Chains A and B, each alone.
Chain A
Amino acid sequence: MARGVLKLPEDLPVSVPRFVGKEVTRLEDPGLVTGTAEFIDNLSLAGMLHCAILRSPHPHARILRIDTSAAEAMDGVAAVLTGEDLRRWCNPAVTAPEGWGSYSMAVDKVRFVGEPVAAVAACNRYLAEDALEQIRVEYEPLPCVPDAHAATTPGASLVFEEKGSNVIQSRVYDWGEVDRMFAEADHVVSNTFRWNRVGANPTETFGCICQWDLTGNALTCHGSYQVPRFMALGRSATLRLPANRIRIIAQPMGGGFGGKGGPRGTDIAALLSRKAEGRPVKYIEDRIEYLLAGGGQSWDRHYEAALAVRADGTITGLKVKLLDDQGAGAEGYGTISAAKPLAAFTGCYRIEAARYDLTLVATNRAPTYPFRGYGPPPHYFVLESLVDMAARKLGMDPAELRRRNYIRPEQFPYVVPSGNEYDSGQYEVVLDKALALADYAKLRAEQARARAAGRLIGIGVVSTVEPGVFDWNCYATVGVPGVGVPEGVKVAVDILGNVTVAVGFNLQGQGQFTVAAQVAADYLGVDMHAVRVATAASDVALPHFGQGGSRLGVSVTGAVLGACRKLEVLFCRVVAHLMQTTPEQVELMDGRLRLKANPAVGMTLAEVAGTMLARSDLLPPDVEPCPEANYVWTAPGRTAPDEQGRCKSYLTAANATHLVMVEVDRETGQTSILGYWIVDDCGTRLNPATVDGQIEGGVAQGVGAALFEEYVYGESAQPLVTTFVDYLIPTIGEVPSSRKAVVVTPSPVSPLGAKGTGEGAIHTTPAAIMCAINDALSPLGIEVRETPASPRRLWQLLQQVA
């Protein structure tokens, strides 16, 4: 009969797991290294048209008139779309909080540079772009709201007039006796911090092909969709179609990191198809469109923050005041980024009380979207910088100050002031391993010698908690309802013993198809290559979410285990019936259903599946001829939030310490990374090579955020960054080769003990680098509290003391 919860890989019904926990090569890769994977722009449909979008050059302007007649008259142009069509057929985007969404194409006024104003469907993309040049738009510029501070200035222009204010949300969370902690503190360190806009920038931009079925009143969209089911729900709301008439087919994606975007592009292509009598319309966003107005801008934040510290180094209180520039509304769910830190507000530390004073405002910058980490990277930059400032004030080593304040292993499960419960961890073990790996004492001695020689060398030692397996409840306070995030799979065995795992998501890079196959293969005792993982379209897939919030590795594992367990129960019943015994006498082991009392007697999966499919006369009367099982997993034990947002939200708490040594060049302000060391604990490593890849990729994005990447806006909200010449993604020359070691503390609450691990490195790297730079600058009495610490920014600081 079926086993209970599988806490560790050793609990799988095989003598020795062959795939789980091993560095297996990925199922995904052959199609990717040969260039044959079907990314959206590799897909063509018969009669397909190509879309190009005309975008606003103004940050804030009334649209007086649009003349599309010349474009419509062009040979090869099939349809032209403007805001008037949207007004007639659509609703504005649904947002959280509600009421801060625009139509997918500007109606009456534009709110940011790059907002779609008109679009053309033509027989090829070149011609569609020619047609855009024939569209005449008259604008009346309006006073604009260029940044977060301007948004709250009395008399400021309103981005959404009907709201009467640019403040999307303003509230204070109070957790514990914050005022008393600060009143009783021996030291208070406080400061302001600025995190400038960065974003996902996957190498593939957003793309889709939409086809409106005019007779069936239905819509089919192929595209680079990260969360197909939610894309269908969102389109249902904007396009006024029942959600079950929207079929979202996710193609393999060239990266996502949360910032793929897609709602506006999908709506526009869909409506062009509707106007072009149902011909399919392809829209492939180009890089300039992505950088201007795609899903790639996140975290535009102004902070004031303070730490209460006792003389012995005990940190007792944390206050964070955040003014967050959401851009032109909440359509990209950037608001969630501000709520996410609730899952780990106080990081690794036993801080008793905390306050989060949060103001989210709308401006005439591009709307903000998720980006890997979804909020904590800037928060940890602030928290960890304060910890370093406290260490300097107390004259303590920053690693020792952290050690003194860590949550201790025996304190888990540990509830942080902001309400989430951490499952497990060994923070001091991780720290000590990192210090040993880097030979910290030697690095400090090197630093002392270099300083004596006048060089600016600094060391950052930063530990963070990565909340893994997100839950909607964490975001309730910005207006996202719900508890639980279903992830469903179907596991089917065919007559020859091949196994199919049908999932609701497609490839995005993190290797979850491989994880699903590893788990299914080890549970069912088959070779990994006997397992095929396939994506089901959104209208027939089980409830699912897909990639996001460091959850899919864990949740797909839970779903596959659940479905395999149901198959095991079913197969045991069939075999018991055939062998005239009871199901309790039958067990699954190494791919065979066998008699417990006589293991030599049994049936293979193929024999059982074949019997079910082809010999219904032999089945128990109430068993369907269906060797398949569905299972929809959601994290156990999640709770509804209280009035202060407190709840059990993210299921797992991974932990890492990053140690980095940098040198700042006095003459140029350029930062060089001299060494980088990482010790990571994400519980059971389902595929260690994939985990390493997640860490290394997160480090690279963290290096970008700390040193290079920034969406710069001019004083009038004009974006000054529109190409990769301006938005500086780190190359192979800028990303350090890190030395790594591992601690494994299996999660007691997750399937096989795995913890979410996609976001830990980007939580940690920016803070570690910024702390290292400030350690380097500390002899000069200056510090950088704004990201990225670009050469220009550091050079200007250095001039103050030159």
Chain B
Amino acid sequence: MTDKQRVCVTVNGRRYERWVEPRLTLVDFLRHELHLGGTHVGCEHGICGLCTVLIDGRSGRSCLTLAVQVDGAEVTTIESLRDPSTGALHPIQQAFVDAHGLQCGFCTPGFIMTTVELLRENPDPSDEEIKRALDGNLCRCTGYQSILASVRLAARRLREGREA
């Protein structure tokens, strides 16, 4: 154990200041210090993608990132997506529900955060582009076909929403 260090980080638009051990991972910081439990842990060695969050807008593995590394950064997690006033689901979340893009749902927050990044950068991705974007996220339940359909549906709805 070493001395704690100060971390100032903005998570989902809210600023936090905490003193943490340098070895504390970002995912443990989010889950156990900030009580944002929607980011899940699947392998802790960077393969499964369950712990995906956005760090300054880019998707990243919060299990391989230390909390002290996000000092000064903006972190976005699954908790940010739902409309805070109405409680309505984000269109990507709704698309996963409507297209049955989940079964146990444990990997889903990671898939959704990766999809947020994908559709921000590419509003109309092809199946191949969706697969490339999501090939760092493991799902053991669905066989991915319904996830593919969910992302397609979300992309269409977001595009239509933009046009409307």
CB neighbors of B among A410-446 (8 A)? none
Q: Is A700's CB under 8 angstroms from B106's CB?
A: no
Whether B70 sits at the interface, judged by CB under 8 Å, is no
Q: Is A724's CB under 8 angstroms from B45's CB?
A: yes
Could you give, for residues 95-112 of chain B, a 1 whenever the CB lies within 8 Å of some chain A CB and a 0 otherwise? 011101011111111001
CB neighbors of A among B83-126 (8 A)? 89, 93-94, 96-98, 100, 102-109, 112
Q: Is B106's CB under 8 angstroms from A257's CB?
A: no
Whether B148 sits at the interface, judged by CB under 8 Å, is yes
Q: Is B103's CB under 8 angstroms from A204's CB?
A: no
Q: Is A35's CB under 8 angstroms from B37's CB?
A: yes
A288 contacts across to B, CB distance below 8 A = 45
B21 contacts across to A, CB distance below 8 A = 126
In the complex, A203→B44 CA distance in Å?
11
Shortest C-beta distance, B110 to chain A (Å), equals 9
Whether A693 sits at the interface, judged by CB under 8 Å, is yes
Could you give, for residues 675-711 of chain A, a 1 whenever the CB lies within 8 Å of some chain B CB and a 0 otherwise? 0000000000000011011011111110000000000
When A42-B37, A732-B134 are in contact, do A37 and B143 touch as well, CB less than 8 Å? no
Shortest C-beta distance, A403 to chain B (Å), equals 28
When A35-B38, A729-B138, A737-B148 are in contact, do A724 and B47 touch as well, CB less than 8 Å? yes
Could you give, for residues 190-208 of chain A, a 1 whenever the CB lies within 8 Å of some chain B CB and a 0 otherwise? 0000000000111111000
CB neighbors of A among B117-161 (8 A)? 130-131, 134-148
Q: Is B146's CB under 8 angstroms from A696's CB?
A: yes
Whether A183 sits at the interface, judged by CB under 8 Å, is no
A287 contacts across to B, CB distance below 8 A = 42-45, 48
- Interface size grouping (class) on chain A: 35 or more
B103 contacts across to A, CB distance below 8 A = 255, 509-511, 693, 697
Whether A286 sits at the interface, judged by CB under 8 Å, is yes
A253 contacts across to B, CB distance below 8 A = 104, 106
Shortest C-beta distance, A228 to chain B (Å), equals 17
Whether A304 sits at the interface, judged by CB under 8 Å, is no
Q: Is A735's CB under 8 angstroms from B145's CB?
A: yes
Interface hub of B109, B134, B140, B148 (most chain A Cβ within 10 A): B140
Q: Is A724's CB under 8 angstroms from B146's CB?
A: no
A33 contacts across to B, CB distance below 8 A = 89, 93-94, 96-97, 102, 105, 108-109, 112
Could you give, for residues 285-317 of chain A, a 1 whenever the CB lies within 8 Å of some chain B CB and a 0 otherwise? 011100000000000000000000000000000
Q: Is A693's CB under 8 angstroms from B148's CB?
A: no
Q: Is B145's CB under 8 angstroms from A737's CB?
A: yes
* Stretch from A24-32, A144-152, A612-620, A631-639 contacting the other chain: A24-32
- Interface size grouping (class) on chain B: 35 or more
Cross-chain contact of B47 among A23, A690, A723 (Cβ < 8 A): A723
B141 contacts across to A, CB distance below 8 A = 255, 509, 693, 697
B104 contacts across to A, CB distance below 8 A = 32, 202-204, 252-256, 507-509
User: Quick one: closest B residue to A740, CB to CB?
Assistant: B145
Whether B164 sits at the interface, judged by CB under 8 Å, is no
Whether B56 sits at the interface, judged by CB under 8 Å, is no
A737 contacts across to B, CB distance below 8 A = 145, 148
User: Quick one: closest A residue to B127, CB to CB?
Assistant: A737
User: Quick one: closest A residue to B37, CB to CB?
Assistant: A42
In the complex, A689→B43 CA distance in Å?
29
A510 contacts across to B, CB distance below 8 A = 103
B89 contacts across to A, CB distance below 8 A = 30, 33-34
Whether A745 sits at the interface, judged by CB under 8 Å, is no
Shortest C-beta distance, A69 to chain B (Å), equals 20
A39 contacts across to B, CB distance below 8 A = 37, 40, 106
Shortest C-beta distance, B108 to chain A (Å), equals 6
User: Quick one: closest B residue to A25, CB to CB?
Assistant: B97
In the complex, A130→B1 CA distance in Å?
9
A255 contacts across to B, CB distance below 8 A = 103-104, 106, 140-141
Whether A621 sits at the interface, judged by CB under 8 Å, is no
Cross-chain contact of A41 among B41, B45, B97, B107 (Cβ < 8 A): B41
User: Quick one: closest A residue to B79, CB to CB?
Assistant: A35
Instruction: Give the dominant DSSP class at A's interface.
Output: loop
Q: Is B48's CB under 8 angstroms from A690's CB?
A: no
B146 contacts across to A, CB distance below 8 A = 689, 692-693, 696
A695 contacts across to B, CB distance below 8 A = 143
Whether B82 sits at the interface, judged by CB under 8 Å, is yes
In the complex, A34→B40 CA distance in Å?
12
When A33-B102, A37-B105 are in contact, do A204 and B23 touch as well, CB less than 8 Å? no
In the complex, A458→B138 CA distance in Å?
28
Shortest C-beta distance, B81 to chain A (Å), equals 7
When A126-B21, A254-B106, A732-B147 are in contact, do A34 and B135 touch as well, CB less than 8 Å? no
Whether A738 sits at the interface, judged by CB under 8 Å, is yes
B43 contacts across to A, CB distance below 8 A = 287, 723-724
Q: Is B148's CB under 8 angstroms from A126's CB?
A: no
Could you give, for residues 33-63 of chain B, a 1 whenever the CB lies within 8 Å of some chain A CB and a 0 otherwise? 0000111111111011010000000000000
B40 contacts across to A, CB distance below 8 A = 35, 39, 41, 203-204, 254
Could you give, for residues 1-40 of chain B, a 1 whenever the CB lies within 8 Å of some chain A CB and a 0 otherwise? 1000000000000000000010110000001000001111
Q: Is B144's CB under 8 angstroms from A732's CB?
A: yes
Q: Is B135's CB under 8 angstroms from A732's CB?
A: yes
Whether B78 sits at the interface, judged by CB under 8 Å, is yes
Whether A395 sits at the interface, judged by CB under 8 Å, is no
Whether A725 sits at the interface, judged by CB under 8 Å, is yes
B81 contacts across to A, CB distance below 8 A = 34
Cross-chain contact of A700 among B50, B135, B143 (Cβ < 8 A): B143
A580 contacts across to B, CB distance below 8 A = none
Interface hub of A26, A254, A690, A723 (most chain B Cβ within 10 A): A254
Shortest C-beta distance, B13 to chain A (Å), equals 17
Whether A598 sits at the interface, judged by CB under 8 Å, is no
Cross-chain contact of A509 among B48, B98, B105 (Cβ < 8 A): B105
Shortest C-beta distance, A763 to chain B (Å), equals 15
Whether A153 sits at the interface, judged by CB under 8 Å, is no
Shortest C-beta distance, B106 to chain A (Å), equals 3
Q: Is A732's CB under 8 angstroms from B148's CB?
A: yes
CB neighbors of B among A643-691 (8 A)? 689-690
A729 contacts across to B, CB distance below 8 A = 48, 138, 140
Interface hub of A257, A288, A724 (most chain B Cβ within 10 A): A724
Whether A731 sits at the interface, judged by CB under 8 Å, is yes
B135 contacts across to A, CB distance below 8 A = 731-733
User: Quick one: closest B residue to A696, CB to CB?
Assistant: B143
Shortest C-beta distance, A45 to chain B (Å), equals 14
When A697-B142, A737-B148 are in contact, do A203 and B100 touch as well, CB less than 8 Å? no
A34 contacts across to B, CB distance below 8 A = 38, 78-79, 81-82, 89, 93
When A204-B42, A255-B141 are in contact, do A725 and B97 touch as well, CB less than 8 Å? no
Q: Is A286's CB under 8 angstroms from B143's CB?
A: no
Could you give, for residues 31-63 of chain A, a 1 whenever the CB lies within 8 Å of some chain B CB and a 0 otherwise? 111111101011000000000000000000000
B106 contacts across to A, CB distance below 8 A = 32, 39, 202-204, 253-255
A723 contacts across to B, CB distance below 8 A = 43, 45, 47
In the complex, A733→B138 CA distance in Å?
10
Q: Is B105's CB under 8 angstroms from A732's CB?
A: no
In the complex, A28→B106 CA distance in Å?
12
Q: Is B143's CB under 8 angstroms from A36's CB?
A: no
In the complex, A126→B22 CA distance in Å?
12
Shortest C-beta distance, B24 to chain A (Å), equals 7
User: Quick one: closest A residue to B50, CB to CB?
Assistant: A203
In the complex, A692→B146 CA distance in Å?
9
Q: Is A36's CB under 8 angstroms from B45's CB?
A: no
In the complex, A738→B31 CA distance in Å?
37
Shortest C-beta distance, A515 to chain B (Å), equals 13
Interface hub of B47, B97, B105, B109 (most chain A Cβ within 10 A): B105
**Contact sample, A vs B, 8 pairs, CB 8 Å cutoff:** A36-B38, A37-B105, A200-B140, A256-B104, A689-B146, A693-B142, A701-B140, A737-B145
> Beyond the given A33-B109, A126-B24, A254-B106, could you list 6 further A-B residue pairs with CB under 8 A, ordered by the A residue number?
A29-B97, A255-B141, A696-B145, A700-B139, A729-B48, A732-B137
**Smallest CB-CB A-B distances: 6 pairs:** A35-B38, A32-B105, A254-B106, A509-B104, A696-B143, A509-B103
